[in-house]
Structure 1
């Protein structure tokens, strides 16, 4: 399993594909899917999921929208994990983030880097990273984007 987002069109250029892997790509093309992209997602306890996007249009360019599709995949993954998780504790999760943590996660949602957030808030990049990581831990997220998605779903943002 690849550890980062990949475009189907470029797989054979970078990897020695097995016959089964080539068959999957061939069958996708035969089904009319001309361009595709897959996003591996890593959850707690070593769980791995993959979200794939495909298009039948000749002019589709997933590379152009790779950032948006990565974020959408993470949102889907977070939402799926919330739905698929067994309901043992009343299903209503309460997460308390500090005002500074909320500010940092809100700027992450806007696509800002830790350095940019530090400049905006007048704090160091290390302090931003501390607040983002603390938020991720509190939210049970394994990435910044997933933290944003969970915070939105829980009405923290």
Structure 2
């Protein structure tokens, strides 16, 4: 476990992440800090809010290759409770039987691969992407830091990981971004309120044809089939 107080550790950790110049260094740095917290492995997943059915995800990991291949082959991404918003929005998420009550095969497989104790910590970026830092270890022996301090340290490592990838403009943090005009944003906001094109036209004192013209342009920008999906995507990524 770290042998320095939290604030000294925090300063040293910040310096380490600020010195990173390439994205590949994030993996080695996170691994070093999670090992100092008595964990054998880590996975840092950047999960974007859209597309809704197949959200973009990128993973940086030190997990055993056999486990990564098994996880992918079994499509555990689709059922992993750690990835459910209702769970990861809790922030500090210890792995236990209750968490995996609906996915016992996943929990059994993880332990068979040596992942017998774990925690997932979630942080959010301004673009609404979730940074999920999962740490695990093979042994149940050995004392970990108290939950509140472990929570604070894992949260800070996750935040710095996300910030560093953003600073380096790594593709993993590139989400759906849109450049909208002031008029497009106004129309989008009222569309999000459930207003029809005719109602938006009346509110903004413009023609319905103008409203439809801007909505068609936004559909192209979002690669969306209709105005409803535009509003849903915009809300998901924080534009409205």
Shorter-chain TM-score bucket reads: 0.3 to 0.5
Larger helix percent = 1
TM-score norm. by structure 2 comes to 0.30
**Larger of the two Rg values belongs to structure:** 2
TM-score norm. by structure 1 comes to 0.45
